[in-house]
Homo-oligomer: A and B are copies of this chain.
């Protein structure tokens, strides 16, 4: 008797070390377009296009496409995928493409399908497809640890999605661009690795964020660099790596964040000589301890060997209860234990807060707790909306001005709509 459930074919690259690259070489594109024209079509939404981008560039390497059921189940139950040599690679969020009954019918028995972008243009081919049930409730429960209504990614990309999942090997017809003036920030893992080499980095420490950089973040990043130098590294390079895909509505939009980050470098809060700012093209799950593994794994693929992890990474408030959705300490604990991330050096975030005596952002000192002010995202937004200044030394003036302008424009828009 054979072992049950052997995969028909695996999306895992047998050559575990090399980054997958699923973009069709320029010389072959015309032929592939012709071939794709005869295939049934499946439409990608914005979030699915972002995932195609992520997978094609190798952020999820050794994954080679949208997950077949074999990968989906491993990701859901074990947060990791087994390679042909028996080793485990981390893969904590399912990267899947959902389709509805009509699309399933249209695909029929075709082994290959063409994937169209949100504008209807041909984007990719999915080969050797496998269609299986999209058990939404189970996917949500196992990914988020809750099924409460109001999870942003669920509302945007799962609840409205179809009841089937189609997996297969991805071929992207050309590099995915967004034409939003920010594409030059979207360096692939390969491009980042080259840039680290060009700068002769001997350590790369990554900082994931989806918020403006305040001086507390900067303190932490600069302090990390100092520590790495103390450890004997000669040229540690910071990868300041804002997430660029789907985010929830009340997060600061990507273009505003990129402008804010530019000011932080211009005004010398972070040193441009030892910092690379690039966009991580993944959508955001807000799935706490499950998602932080994905955030770290993708940066390892891009060449980072140190990862900074803070309080409640990828966390948010519980959508229906007045509490954090996740235990704020679980993210760094789960990350430190995650299969496939054994070699990553995890740098725990020391909590920074505004020191009202020293009048600057500083590492929190519990022995004089009352001197410290924790400025939350909500407080920051309130200051900016009301045109008030945050305490001196909270954020560089140019960066703060970017936020003030953004919130003013929002208010103008809201007023205009009334």
Contacts and interface: CB of A to CB of B under 8 A. Distances in A.
Interface of A: 1, 3-6, 69-70, 73-74, 77-80, 82, 86, 88, 133, 135, 137-138, 141-142, 144-148, 227, 289-290, 309, 326-327, 329-330, 332-339, 342, 345-348
Which of A138, A338, A346 lies at the interface centre, i.e. has the most chain B CB atoms within 10 A of its CB?
A: A138
B137 A337 contact: no
A336 B3 contact: yes
Number of copies: 2
A342 B86 contact: yes
Contact of A77 (B1, B3, B79, B86): B79
Central interface residue in A141, A329, A335, by most chain B CB within 10 Å: A141
Given A70-B333, A337-B73, A3 B145 contact: no
Contacts of A77: 79, 289-290, 334, 337-338
A335 B332 CA distance: 28
Contact of A145 (B79, B138, B337, B338): B138
7 nearest A-B pairs in the assembled complex, by CB-CB distance: A5-B333, A138-B145, A5-B336, A141-B141, A4-B332, A4-B348, A141-B145
**Interface class of chain A by DSSP:** mixed
B4 A346 contact: yes
Contacts of A3: 336, 345-346
A21 B355 CA distance: 53
A157 to B, nearest CB: 19
Given A74-B337, A77-B79, 14 more contacts: A4-B333, A4-B336, A5-B334, A70-B333, A73-B330, A73-B334, A77-B338, A78-B79, A82-B339, A86-B342, A137-B148, A138-B326, A141-B146, A339-B339
A168 to B, nearest CB: 18
A3 B337 CA distance: 10
A12 to B, nearest CB: 12
A229 to B, nearest CB: 13
A149 to B, nearest CB: 12
A97 B146 CA distance: 22
- Most chain B CB within 10 A, of A70, A133, A327, is at A327
A298 B289 CA distance: 28
A142 B84 CA distance: 27
A146 B139 CA distance: 9
Contact of A135 (B138, B144, B327, B346): B327
A1 B227 contact: yes
Contacts of A334: 5, 73, 77
Contacts of A327: 133, 135
30 contacts: A1-B348, A3-B346, A4-B332, A4-B335, A4-B346, A5-B336, A69-B333, A70-B333, A73-B289, A73-B333, A73-B334, A73-B337, A77-B290, A78-B78, A78-B79, A78-B80, A78-B338, A78-B339, A82-B337, A82-B339, A88-B339, A133-B327, A137-B145, A137-B148, A138-B326, A141-B147, A142-B142, A142-B145, A146-B147, A339-B339
Contacts of A133: 327
A376 to B, nearest CB: 22
A13 B180 CA distance: 55
A305 to B, nearest CB: 13
A395 B300 CA distance: 58
A260 B212 CA distance: 68
A143 to B, nearest CB: 9
Contacts of A73: 289, 330, 333-334, 337
